[in-house]
Chains A and B, each alone.
Chain A
Amino acid sequence: DAGVIQSPRHEVTEMGQEVTLRCKPISGHDYLFWYRQTMMRGLELLIYFNNNVPIDDSGMPEDRFSAKMPNASFSTLKIQPSEPRDSAVYFCATTPPGTANTEAFFGQGTRLTVV
């Protein structure tokens, strides 16, 4: 398995534009997490899914952020409209089924720059 795959790796966009980040989890993993990493706030959990269902979105900063998981092999995080303070590295991570409290496998991240 190639691991968790995120795209794009880098995204530069203008303020006000819509941004969509994509994640392909490891096959068979049933938990999927979206994290945002900044120097000031570290790794923040934005939202997570279990079996494609959103479980907790309390970390989503504003209504401008939304996430979906239409099937077990794909998730998106959308920011509309984007703002410069959204600039960060966004990580997707997944965990395997059947065992609670186990290793989270991270994707390579998407570095988002909003100018």
Chain B
Amino acid sequence: GENVEQHPSTLSVQEGDSAVIKCTYSDSASNYFPWYKQELGKRPQLIIDIRSNVGEKKDQRIAVTLNKTAKHFSLHITETQPEDSAVYFCAASRGNFNKFYFGSGTKLNVKP
């Protein structure tokens, strides 16, 4: 099955700085890569996703890049704000079954 690895496990940045979280996956057939944000005590919620026919996608301050050859994808958050503090999960899935394999999570702390 798929194996998704995520780094770093914790990340602390100053408000206004950029944050980058990286994930690798093992199954070359994976073709959908969502990112979820989970605030303390809340449910995970989708913030951005990318499909394997696209190399980069951007939505305001967040962007995701995908390198299919190297089998890795990254989340980039620019101009970080305290409300960006949360745990971020990457995931990968393939085929028609919506079976998501999640990374272990990155706890992002944005210091004001």
Enumerate chain A interface residues (CB-CB to B < 8 A): 31, 33, 35, 42-43, 45, 48, 50, 55-56, 91, 95, 100-104, 106-109
Contacts and interface: CB of A to CB of B under 8 A. Distances in A.
Nearest to A48: B99
Nearest to A99: B98
Contact of A56 (B32, B96, B99, B104): B99
A50 B97 contact: yes
Contacts of B32: 100-101
Tell which of B44, B51, B97, B98 has the most Cβ of chain A within 10 Å.
Answer: B98
A107 B101 contact: no
Contacts of A107: 43
A26 to B, nearest CB: 13
**B: contact size bracket:** 20 to 34
6 contacts: A42-B104, A56-B99, A91-B44, A95-B98, A101-B94, A108-B43
B73 interface: no
A5 to B, nearest CB: 11
Interface string B101-112: 111110000000
Given A43-B102, A101-B32, A101-B51, A106 B43 contact: yes
A101 B44 contact: no
B28 interface: no
Contact of A42 (B34, B42, B105): B105
Given A42-B102, A42-B103, A103 B43 contact: no
B43 A91 contact: yes
Contacts of B104: 42
Tell which of B34, B49, B100, B103 has the most Cβ of chain A within 10 Å.
Answer: B100
A103 B49 contact: yes
Contacts of A91: 43-44
B3 interface: no
